[in-house]
Structure 1
């Protein structure tokens, strides 16, 4: 697969053949085009045009996505954000009422349910983005730099969470984009290496 934007080649020679249940590492230096590839997989880039989207609320029932960075309304608490994502994923309200407390509990966020995302530490933000990406019980989970800007202990905790999630649902395919291969080596089963972006 290749991708051009305004007559400039951004990605070239990409070949994705992924089996269900694999944990895939999408590895490359900053600026290599990992996020662009993710946007193509998610359908956020079509016909060479980058679509404008509400940070990462994706109306795809069986795909979960956690971006490297995002923002939310500072006056909205994380529980309401989870309800909004459940609505976007077409989960009925009664099911959402049962599901969201379980999600908050699993990620140790129950006591923070009525807090703003903007008040969280970097580690808590990453945990919440991971929780949000799982609200629709996805078959495919895509994580863009899930440990970016975290200290070593927090990085380890995030990857332990990802490993436990895969153990609970071994049929879920996970794609993890990162520029640090050494962090992924104990977790991933397959590696896609994107050496550089063609966007000059």
Structure 2
């Protein structure tokens, strides 16, 4: 069965091989066979849906297919990374059931000691999201070096990379590398740290 009148079976097979080769090179061994097949199928659908936009005067057919493949694989990689980081948060609702050692169903909000919660948030009245952010940042910052803590504090205060480089006495590239390392370290808090 022919998928498109302007695409021969040979061209479809060459596209399939190109997509598979690029996907294997791009993802390495991080995908299961099923995920690799799904990614390749999605990429082939992208190619076939954009086939009508191809213009011979602007480049070769395989260059066009290669560009679509690269974009599709990059999107798939971003989606996988986003899913991975969302799972790292592991946030619980206050209405989640917990095992409190009693026969009746107990929700998480019933187990929280109000005094300890006030101590952790400084006794101020805050929204739940602000409270959760404060607790999460406190726990995460305990695992950072003093340099990483001061860099995070300065960045959250809104200082630019140039200002930070001057302050710490290093080049901007070093600040960018440190920020990447810090983002990696705090990857579970990306929901709060919009960059």
Higher relative contact order (Cα pairs below 8 Å, separated by 6+ residues): 1
Structure with a larger share of its residues in helix:
2
Structure with a larger share of its residues in strand:
1
Q: Which has the larger radius of gyration?
A: 2
TM-score (norm 1): 0.28
TM-score (norm 2): 0.28
